[in-house]
Structure 1
Amino acid sequence: MNALVATEPKVDGEAQYLTFVLGGEMFAMDILGIKEIIEYGNLTTVPMMPAFVRGVINLRGAVVPVVDLAVRFGRPSTPVNKRSCIVILEVHGEEGVQDIGVLVDAVSAVLSIAAADIEPAPSFGGGIRADFIGGMAKVDGRFVIVLSVERVLSVEEMAQLSQAGDGRAPVREGEFAQ
């Protein structure tokens, strides 16, 4: 389950996306930030974390937080099944690069999607924050929500939510936590 194999060669104007299912809907994310896909398991829960942080895993000696994307989108927690997996992403923030895992119901495929087949994100509805959506791709006559991973997994925003969840105010540079 660790290897990502593209189904089609990359062509100018196209990018490769990992498609996956979450709550019965099809989503996609650019494969460039994906390090690997692992089976769900050996998760350690951490007290006083925001609800969307499912826990942490030990990935070759590194502690990697695992985010439940469904909860991050304001939906009920993802039930774990045989096809559930964790997609390990490399996320760039103000303090450098951090690996973050995201829990998904099932991984579908790696597809090449032409830029012309991606429409701008709608300004209404969608069931998730509009800034989380990078666009809507047309794949086989069906829409796939292309996520803006940098916004969904903003390390700074998640840290602020974590601090708000435990009653602490965010600490700015040069200040001390109380």
Structure 2
Amino acid sequence: MPQGDAMTTTSTTPWDDNGQLEVLTFDVGDECLAIEAVSIREILDLLPETPVPGAPDLVASVVNFRGKIIPIADLRVAFGMPRNPGEEASADHRIVVIETEIDGEPLQIGLRSDKVHEVTILDKAHSSEPPVLGMRWKREFARELVRQPGSVIVIPDLPTIFTSLAEAA
């Protein structure tokens, strides 16, 4: 690896043998994100959140769902988007509960979303690595960008995002 290329993606996208990936697409701010469908555990209406004093902005609150405490992540923080703390929740806002591994430990975490779209199939032929320049977020926070008619879908590298949070603590 060239020495100046320290910002490469660390996780690989699990494309199937046909170069396809089944994902759930959803909006966070003005970005459309995609998470592998096999990682999705629940899609919830917004629940009352409990702030966690001293927690990082990325995961600053938790919800109680069926007796389980689930941390809520605001990916706006990771992707450098403005946060609107006083913004009214709309009927489209949801919490997408995923399961991911951080340092070999399974973790359920809720991702705050502005709108959940659909489960769809993405094609590797339309994907590319994030560019070195021209993004407002850290390059390693996005595994791939997938071109769609009229838009680009970001496949975030959630383990890298959450690991960087743990390392910063």
Equivalence for 1:159: 166
Q: Is the 8 A contact 1:20 1:108 kept in 2?
A: yes
Q: Identity rate of aligned residues, in percent?
A: 26
Give 1 or 2 for the bigger CA radius of gyration. Answer: 1
* Alpha-carbon distance, 1:59 to partner: 2.1
* Alpha-carbon distance, 1:89 to partner: 1.1
Change (3 A) 1:115 1:52: same
Equivalence for 1:22: 28
Q: Is the 8 A contact 2:53 2:60 kept in 1?
A: no
Q: Distance in 2 between matches of 1:102 and 1:26?
A: 13
Structure 1 residue runs of 5 or longer lacking an equivalent are 1-9, 164-178
The higher relative CO (CA closer than 8 Å, separation ≥ 6) is in: 2
Structure 2 residue runs of 5 or longer lacking an equivalent are 1-15
Letter in 1 for 2:165: M
Letter in 2 for 1:158: L
Matched, 1:124 2:133: yes
TM-score normalized with structure 1 length: 0.76
Letter in 2 for 1:58: N
Q: Distance in 1 between matches of 2:151 and 2:166?
A: 35
Query: SS state of the match for residue 41, structure 1?
Result: coil
Q: Superposition RMSD on alpha carbons, in Å?
A: 1.9
- How many residues matched? 151
Which of 87, 93, 101 matches 2:102? Answer: 93
Q: Distance in 1 between matches of 2:102 and 2:30?
A: 30
Matched, 1:67 2:73: yes
Query: SS state of the match for residue 82, structure 1?
Result: coil
Q: Distance in 1 between matches of 2:155 and 2:73?
A: 18
Q: Is the 8 A contact 1:91 1:153 kept in 2?
A: no
Matched, 1:34 2:40: yes
